[in-house]
Amino acid sequence: VPGDRTAFHRTITADPLSVRAALADFSVSLTRLGIAPEHVETLELVVAEVLNNIVEHAYRDMPAGEIGIEVEARGGVILCDVTDGGAPMPGARLPQGAHPGRGTTSDDLPEGGYGWFLIRGLARDLTYARIGGRNVLRFRIDFPPSPAEF
Amino acid sequence: MRLTTTNHGGDLLIAVREDRIDAAVALQFKDALRTASENAPARVVLDLSQVGFLDSSGLGALVTAMKALGPDRRLDLLAPTPPVQKVLRLTRMDSVFAIFPDEASAFARGAVARAG
């Protein structure tokens, strides 16, 4: 089908340096598709947060396993499929992604928890499933991304 | 983690000489910032002009550094690049940190008073 294309496909080890290398390749692939730098930067940020969460949480109590990343570009939409063999999401559901600093002052501003806030704000149609012992996260990012839910 | 520090008219200017502040370096960044801002004066200005990518772990390190300075000292940000500005804006950190576009405005007389 014209317009349907795999933009990026990679299996990496769940560690921070492999994530960094994959993100660099991801950005190059998107740039080659003609996506503007400012949108590439935003797409990279969302995928970075998703991958970081897997490294830090899903594989926290076990040796680093694999993360599968599949990205398809269709017109002004990027479809991402990220799978891992780590621990399931707590409660088998995605974090709500509220701003961690809600109701706080700068003195007691939390030092973490901004990742899901960014993902929730920039990605659309987030779905999570546990399939065959793997976490499967799917989402869509429109570009130019419209952070309407912030 | 490469940071360079300069005394700038009584303020401490810390320049980050890294392309990315991501999960791979966030802990080192946090430690390096702590070391660099030990015995800091009342104002620390962090030059982010060379940083092209900041994720939530890097952002967490900025919050840690700000809180470590305590209530009597402040951490201001200098010249964040567009992708870093975007993260600061989306997470509403642009209302937590004073952000200056260039050295001239960051170190102008009265810059801190205007930043609030």
**pLDDT digit string (tens) for A27-58?**
999 999 888 898 899 999 999 999 999 999 99
Whether A17 sits inside 8 A of B92 (CB atoms) is no
Name the residue in chain B with its Cα closest to that of A109: B63
| Closest Cα in chain B, distance from residue A107 (Å) | 6
**Which of B20, B57, B91 minimises the CB distance to A117?**
B91
Long-range CB contact pairs, B68-71, < 8 A, 24+ = B68/B34, B68/B37, B69/B37, B69/B40, B69/B44, B71/A107
pLDDT at A146: 53
pLDDT at A7: 87
Whether A55 sits inside 8 A of B23 (CB atoms) is yes
Whether A144 has its CB under 8 Å from any CB of chain B: the answer is no
Report the mean per-residue pLDDT for chain B: 94
pLDDT at B116: 60
B27-33 average pLDDT score: 96
Strand partners, A136: A83, A129
Whole-angstrom distance, CA of residue B58 vs CA of residue B64: 10
B70-88 average pLDDT score: 96
pLDDT at A1: 43
pTM of the model: 0.92
Whether A20 sits inside 8 A of B86 (CB atoms) is no
| Residue B116 burial (CB count, 10 A) | 5
pLDDT < 70 stretches in chain A: 1-4, 144-150
Q: What is the pLDDT of residues B46-63, one digit of tens each?
A: 999 999 999 999 999 999
pLDDT beyond 90 at B77: yes
